[in-house]
Structure formats: structure tokens, C-alpha cells
Structure 1
Amino acid sequence: MLKRLLPAVLALTALAMATPAQAEGRHDTYGPVARMLVDGEGRCTATLIAPEWILTSNMCIPGTGLSGMTFAIGSHRTSTANAVSVSHSRQADLALIKLDRAVGNPVAKLASSTPEVGSTVRTYSWSHACETGTEPTHRTTTPKAVDHSYDYLGSDYFSGPAMNLTAKTGEITCGDYGSPTVHDGEQVGVISLSDGKWTIATLVADQRPWIQEIAGV
């Protein structure tokens, strides 16, 4: 009896041990990635797209507005800046946030076209623990990187054009909304919704006219 049960027990143990690592994904650098904090607590991830402008998800903006909102920008050496104003897209789950000062970190190159279905894209994010809202120390120096396959064109939370993605490595977790999705060095998406493995990223290319009008890029 024990001999028959042992393989199953070992398999379940291996699965339990693998789950945290799979959820973490890789750790990688991406200079424009930014951590959004509200009153010092991690809330979402965002991207520096111009020295004074942040791109993120509408879903990340608290109902209380920008009070207490700051950004830690960069993968290693971080610059900090405060949020002073926000512009909401009326066509997609995107928000542009004006900073109180220009920062010298690298800015994202925004895509003018969308990858082909079947492409592999990568999301960079600053996760935090869902249960407590605290951020694991091993994620304070390098952001998480999750690879996805682009399965088909869909819609984001606000019915804007979006990529439907399936995670190949890791998962999207708390703090990952608003994160940049990158393909061939260009930001092609912003995370709008996810259940971990299945993710929706708002298409940046479709919203470029609005982004250019507000942020000039």
C-alpha cells in the first residue's frame, strides 16, 4: 500500500514546491518600469514613457485620486517622483500620470504596431504579496518578468482593444496591473486584467494618438 502511495505523495510534494517559483517567474531588468505606491504601500506597476510622464492602467487609480501617490522608477537605481495630475483614456484601460519633476531614467519606446498573434511577449512588474500588501525583499532589487504567448485579439476592462495572453513562465499577481508588456524592445501593452495564467493587456499602438496628445510621445 505504501509503495503504491509513495509516487503520488512525491508528485504532490513536487507540485507544491514548484508553485511559488512558477508564480514568481524570472527576475530581469527593464529601466522604464515603475512601482506605484500609495501612502507608502505597493499598489500597481507602471512605465516611464517620458521624463515627466507615467503610463499605467485606469484600474490602478484609487477612488480617492492621487493623494499620497508616488513612484519608484527603475530596475536597480530608482528615482522617486510624486503624481500631480492624471488623464484617463475614454477608449481603453489606460491612464497617463504627470510627475512633479522630470526624472533621468530610461523611458519606454512605445510601439506603433501590434505583434502578430502567436508572438511571445514579456511583462515586467513589481509584485507584492496579496495577503498582506507587503513586498517580498527578493523583489526590491529586480522586477519580475513573465513571458506570455499572444493568443488572440480581445478587449480590456473598458472595452478597448487588447491582447489576450497566456503565461508561459510565472504568473500575474497582486501589484502587476498597469505593468508594461514588451515585444522586441517596444512596449506593446499595459496589463488590464488577469487571473494569474490568463491575462489581458491593453494595446498601446491603438492609443498612440491619445498618448501623443497628452504626453507628446
Structure 2
Amino acid sequence: MHPRGRTRLTALSVTLLAGGLLTATPAEALSGGTVVPVGTHPFLARIATPTKACSGALVDPSWILTSATCLPATDSGAPVEAATVAVGDVDVSTGAGFTAKLTKVVRRTDRDVVLAKLDKPATGVPQIPLGTTAPQAGETLQVAGFGRTTTEWVPARPRVASFTVSGVNGSTVSVSSANGTDACKGDAGGPAFRVSGGTAQLVALSSTSWQHGCLDVTETRQGGTETRVDDLGDWIRKQIVPTPVSCPAGAPIWAARADGSLWRYVHLGPADGAVSWTQASAPDGSGWTGRVLAGKDGVIWDIHRHNSAGDPYPDGTLKRWVYSTGSGLGGGGQVGSGWDRYLTNEYKNRITVDEKNRIFMIDDQGRLKYYLWDDATGWWVNGAGDVLDTGWSRFDSITAAGDGVLYARKPGGELFRFKYDFAASAWTQRDKPAGAGWQMFSEIFSPGGDILYGRGSTGTSPFDGQTGPVLRWYRYSDNTDTWAPSGPDQMGVTIGSGWNTEIHVTAAPDSCRLSG
């Protein structure tokens, strides 16, 4: 809890920023202290939106830590207002410093802290490392920020002052200054750091203060509250480093060829896009001229296409097969009918299967539906399917890449990521832009773990160097909004050649899982 009566360090007014009310009077840090010397503490960050400004700390070339009150976010994780950040030797009066836009905000739910992502890395600007031990009562911390001072509304340079820790209470730290210095408006999110061996270590962020001694403040009480961050190292790493993925047995990939034969390959490098395969020496069956979809635990769904006069199954019959090592494919009984829409060119890519064996589809009304198979009963949980959403006719392809994770492509090639939480019966992500140019692929499929394969484009074979149809590998990290390193043509990693004569290619969707 914040001490009752202390004021949150809400940011400087945009009116003051626009008015340029800078004074020639030498400024003091916060409501006291000193101006940060040029060349020291380049990790100090100044954050500005159209309505306010506040402070923060650069903890990674692409990420800053600041106060949640400084940067509220929308449900999609974007800043509520357009926001920019300046780091390095920032000087408001000259425009000095490295500047970038802030594109993503990750909120801590248990304290006044957010991580914010820069749209370009602050390469060459030193970051501040995180302290690994909690502040102790009686310890001296340095508190810095770009907030107002005793004499200035908008100081040109950041200020720093010494504070003494008077108490530590869970996620907060109480601080005070012997000479009555306090943090002021605009210092919200500014770093509180200890200096050990000449190195600054971030342990907290400014949150609330009596603002004693600040310009236009008459409060006589003193002291402030900092929000601890020394114990957030693991959380920060999970946000700024791509989540690890595990594919313990590789990714089985099934290819249905134009002659109706079905072939099983295993990509041995799905986690990192390595060109390593187990090749098939013979097909696993014939008559696979319909729509093939791999499921979990070796399940293969066949939207059957009628083959001959002796074939008892009409177009659109859904059949369920199971593959086991050593025995091959078994089963093949009918488990549905009327699925012939997904044999057409218009709908063939509007159906996919996730790692839980949910079959997702876009129907003729533009609804996103799913069907879930119950292994215990040997039948569908709901034979009519469940509607998750509407308005999906705008997409010409969907690909499941995890538990409830869907990548949806528009005809123009724009790709969007969605995630549905089935336990909460709610979307946790909708329409998140994930790239463009995906119209070059005739088919996009996934082994899970936010890994995508695309076939149907042209490139250089990794085997003989010839130009022709290739299979490309991609891996997206949702937490960092980045794709895995791509090949020299910047078009994903080419992991195979050919793959252009197949009717359909599909990967077992439970092959890879996020492990972070």
C-alpha cells in the first residue's frame, strides 16, 4: 500500500512542454540534489506523450522500465497514447539523446511497474543492470528523473539526489532525504539505484511522494515511496527474450501427393530451422486426394474426396486415422459428413488443427468454429461445433500454432495472430499484426510452438543451390514481437526444396511447445 496522503508522481503537463517554459536559473535535482553530469547515467529515460512526460530506465537496448501510471496500455498492449522515449545524454533544450517510439507495454499486475518496448534498439547506449538484493533500511539510494525541480517546470537535463531507505514493505520501499528533497511531478518511473563498485544497480522506481520542495507545491511533509524491481529479473527476461521452444521428437510432416499417395517425413530441426530430415522411403497409403490435416498423438484427419465407383465414401466425409510407429496408419472410420466445402480452392486453407486436436474452421457465414474430439468417449464433444467468433470471411487462410493460437492471413498477405483461452472462454489476443507478404505461400502449416512452415514460394535449394520451389521455416516470439533470424534472402529460413506438387502438406500440431 502507498502511504496515505502521498501523491502519485503524475507527469508534467503537455501544456508546459509545448509552452517551452524553461528558465535560465540553474536547476537543482528533483526538489534538490544535482544535475546529472553529461556522460554519466545514460540509462536515464525521458518518456513523453501528447499529454504528459515522466521518467524511466533503459534495462535492455529495446526495453525500458517505468511506472504503470506513466504508461497505461490498451487491451492489445499498445500505449494508450502515442509515446516516445529519449535515452543517453538527453537534453530537452537541444534535442540531444537517442529517441524512439514506444510500441508495446507489459504491465505487472502486483505493483506500479511496466516494461515498454522501443520500436528500434538504443544501440550503443549503456543499460542499467538490475540489482539482485532488496534495499535495506538505512541504505543510501540514488534517485533520478526528469521531473520538475524547485525552480523549473521542465528541466533540460535529469537530476539525481541521495535518499535513505527508511523501510521495506513487500513490493515497496519508503525513502527520505536528510535535506527534505522529494521526487516531483515528471519523476514517476525514474530509477532508484545503488552504486556498488562504481556500478549503478537498479532496485526500484519512483511511485509516490509528498513532493516537498517541488515548484508550486506547499506541502510540508516529506518522503516518498519507490516500487521494488530488484526481484523482477525472471519476469523481465521472460518478456524481453524469446520464449524457449521444445520439439523433443522433431516434427512429423505429412505430404499428400497428386497421385493420392501419403508420405511421412520428420523435420529434425523445427525449433531452430535446421536443415535436417528423416526421409520417407515409401508411402503410408493411397487414395489421399482430399484434404489432409494432422492432429495430436498421431491422429490424421481426412476430409475425403470420392475416388472411384468402388469407393463407398462421398466427397466431404470426415475420416479419422491414427499413426503409430511400427504399425503405420490404422482406423479410418467415418466420424463426420458434409465437410466438402474444405475440398474447394476457396476454403481449403480455412481449416486447421491445434495441439489439443481442436479442428478450427471458417464456415460459409464467416464464423470461426471449432470441433473437439473426446478421446475418452471416442466422439465429438459437440457434434454441431462451437462458434468462437464472427467476421472471419476477411481471412483466406488460418493456421493453428499452439493451444488456441491462430495465425490468420488476409488475401493481401497481411498476417495476424490470435489466442483464445478456452479455460476463461475469452480471447487474450485479437488481430495482432504479425507480418506481411504471406500471400506468396500456397499453404501455411505449423508443428506448434509459434513455428510456421510456408510452401509454394521460390528460392534457393539448401541442397543443390538451384532456384525453384522451396519450403520455408519461421518462428514468431509473441512476447518480443520478433521473428527468428531469417536467411540471407530475408524470407525465412529455407529448409527444403520441391514441395510444390503436393495436394496438401500438414505437420503434427503437438510436435513443439513453448517451454518458458
Matched residue, 1:47 = 57
Corresponding residue of 2:159: 144
Query: Does the CA contact (< 8 Å) of 2:136 and 2:167 recur in 1?
Result: no
Counterpart in the other structure of 2:82: 68
Match of 1:108 among 104, 113, 128: 128
State whether residues 146 and 172 of structure 1, in contact with CA within 8 Å, keep that contact through their aligned partners in structure 2.
Answer: no
Equivalent position of 2:147 in the other structure: 127
Aligned partner of residue 59 in structure 1, secondary structure: coil
Contact 1:35 1:71 in 2 (8 A): yes
Q: How does 1:90-101 map to 2 (within 5 A)?
A: 90-101=109-120
CA distance in 2, matches of 1:163, 1:128: 22
- Matched residues in 2 for 1:202 and 1:213: separation? 20
Q: Distance in 2 between matches of 1:88 and 1:63?
A: 8
Which residue does 1:175 correspond to in 2? Answer: 186
Work out the CA distance in 1 between the residues paired with 2:85 and 2:28. Answer: 27
State the distance in 1 between where 2:148 and 2:178 align.
20
Which letter does structure 2 place at the counterpart of 1:165?
A: V
1:206 to 231, 237, 242: 231
Q: Which position in structure 2 is the counterpart of 1:30?
A: 41
Which amino acid in the other structure matches residue 203 of structure 1? R
Deviation at 1:134, TM superposition (A): 5.0
* Shift, 1:171, TM fit: 2.0
> Which one of the candidate residues 100, 117, 132 is aligned to 2:137?
117
| CA deviation map 1:104-134 (0-9, x unaligned) | 211011111113210110111001379xx95
Contact (CA 8 Å) 1:118, 1:149: kept in 2 or not?
yes
Structure 2 letter corresponding to 1:206: D
Normalised TM-score (structure 2) = 0.34
The C-alpha deviation readout for 1:15-66, integer Å capped at 9, x for no partner, is: xxxxx85823211241100101002x65210111101001001111247734
Q: Any idea what the Cα deviations from partners look like across 1:165-186, whole Å, max 9, x if unmatched?
A: 0123532111001000010210
Between the aligned partners of 2:176 and 2:49, the Cα distance in structure 1 is 29
Moved more, 161-170 or 48-57: 161-170
Residue aligned with 1:212, SS: helix
Measure, in 1, the Cα distance between the counterparts of 2:186 and 2:118: 20
What is the distance in 2 between the residues matched to 1:208 and 1:21? 32
Answer yes or no: is the 8 Å Cα contact 1:83–1:98 preserved in 2: yes
> What residue identity is the alignment partner of 1:57?
S
Which residue does 1:195 correspond to in 2? 210
1:8: which partner in 2?
Answer: none
Match of 1:162 among 164, 172, 177: 172
Judge conservation of contact 1:66–1:83 (CA < 8 Å) in 2: no
Judging changes above 3 Å, is the alpha-carbon distance between structure 1 residues 74 and 21 closer, same or farther for their aligned structure 2 residues? closer
| Counterpart residue number, 1:186 | 201
CA contact (8 A) 1:59 1:93 kept: yes
Give, in whole Å, the separation in 2 of the partners of 1:168 and 1:58. 28
8 Å contact kept, 1:179–1:190: yes
* Alpha-carbon shift at residue 100 of structure 1 (Å): 0.3
Match of 1:14 in 2: none
Q: Is 1:84–2:103 an aligned residue pair?
A: yes
SS at match of 1:78: strand
Aligned length: 186
Between the aligned partners of 1:129 and 1:192, the Cα distance in structure 2 is 17
Q: State the Cα distance separating 1:69 from its structure 2 match.
A: 0.5
**In structure 2, C-alpha distance between the alignment counterparts of 1:118 and 1:129, rounded to whole Å:** 25
CA distance in 2, matches of 1:74, 1:21: 20
Q: Which consecutive segments of 4 or more residues in structure 1 shift more than 4 A?
A: none
The one-letter amino acid of 1:73's match is V
| Structure with the larger helix share | 1
Does structure 2 conserve the Cα–Cα contact (< 8 Å) formed by 1:84 and 1:99?
Answer: yes
| Counterparts of 2:137 and 2:149, CA distance in 1 | 32
CA distance in 2 between partners of 1:82 and 1:21 (Å): 29
Query: Which segments of 5 or more consecutive residues in structure 1 lack a partner in the other structure?
Result: 1-19, 156-160
Identity among equivalent positions (%) equals: 24
Q: Distance in 2 between matches of 1:52 and 1:68?
A: 17
